[in-house]
Chain A
């Protein structure tokens, strides 16, 4: 299977697949940085290494990393040559990971985002997603006095 030649011309779709998040945020350095960090959140990153990887200038990568740290998506260690890592606990990390799957799904017609959401719900809430949606709906209704009153009214009228 190695070294097979694909007999197709480059299309708009192919070009969009080469841009971070399918071109949703353009081809900016900060989008490339976010994509790299989301894709491998276990690694730590220095500006120079990252610049080489995404083929951008180190000063622009440094600026992007500082911006992302300022908004809490990254944390850093060291002052002179800081090492950055992504804040895995951030919900934006989860959302951006799901977005990377959504882009793939839209291009490929796959179900990666749905599968990831299902696994996330099972992990986060301890129940299969369908059960969670059902029970949570009734929990919200029971805890809401306005809704309870409304339900009560519905019952009385019935």
Chain B
């Protein structure tokens, strides 16, 4: 599966936030790059079960987006040089200055 580089950056951002963040914050952070709730849901669906999920906290009803499979996230981020950006093995993938696919 080929992943949109901006989704790779999103995965990196989420992982460095202890692998989960409230949905509104995800959208606030990434909206300037074109992320919408629909696109995020489609991305989560396309990945299939067990990678990233969205759930609602029972306490306040806040929706959370969380990476479930951290090994998968590690491998994706290393492949795309996003584990420690600027300090990874060059594999030909670059995530800088790329916009969300329309």
Q: Which residues of A are at the interface with B, using a C-beta cutoff of 8 A?
A: 1-10, 17, 22, 35, 38-42, 52-53, 88-89, 93-94, 97-98, 100-101, 103-104, 107-108, 110-112, 115-116, 119-120, 122-124
Residues of the B chain whose Cβ atoms lie less than 8 Å from the Cβ of A122: 89
Given the known inter-chain contacts A39-B17, A40-B9, A123-B89, please indicate yes or no for A5 contacting B56, CB distance below 8 A.
Answer: yes
How far, in whole Å, are A100 and B16 apart by their CA atoms in the complex?
5
Q: Which residues of B are at the interface with A, using a C-beta cutoff of 8 A?
A: 9, 12-13, 15-20, 25, 28-29, 41, 44-45, 49, 53-59, 63, 70-71, 73-74, 78, 83-90, 95-97
Residues of the B chain whose Cβ atoms lie less than 8 Å from the Cβ of A53: 25, 28-29
Q: Are A116 and B85 in contact (CB under 8 A)?
A: no
Residues of the B chain whose Cβ atoms lie less than 8 Å from the Cβ of A111: 71, 74
Smallest beta-carbon distance B27→chain A, Å:
11
Residues of the A chain whose Cβ atoms lie less than 8 Å from the Cβ of B86: 41, 88-89, 93
Q: Are A35 and B87 in contact (CB under 8 A)?
A: no
How far, in whole Å, are A22 and B8 apart by their CA atoms in the complex?
23
Jot down 18 A-B pairs with beta carbons below 8 A, ordered by A.
Answer: A1-B49, A2-B44, A2-B45, A5-B58, A6-B58, A38-B16, A41-B86, A52-B28, A89-B86, A97-B84, A100-B16, A111-B71, A112-B15, A115-B78, A116-B78, A119-B78, A120-B83, A120-B84
Interface of A is mostly: helix
Given the known inter-chain contacts A6-B55, A120-B88, please indicate yes or no for A22 contacting B83, CB distance below 8 A.
Answer: no
Given the known inter-chain contacts A7-B58, A42-B95, please indicate yes or no for A35 contacting B16, CB distance below 8 A.
Answer: yes
Q: Are A42 and B97 in contact (CB under 8 A)?
A: yes
Smallest beta-carbon distance B81→chain A, Å:
9
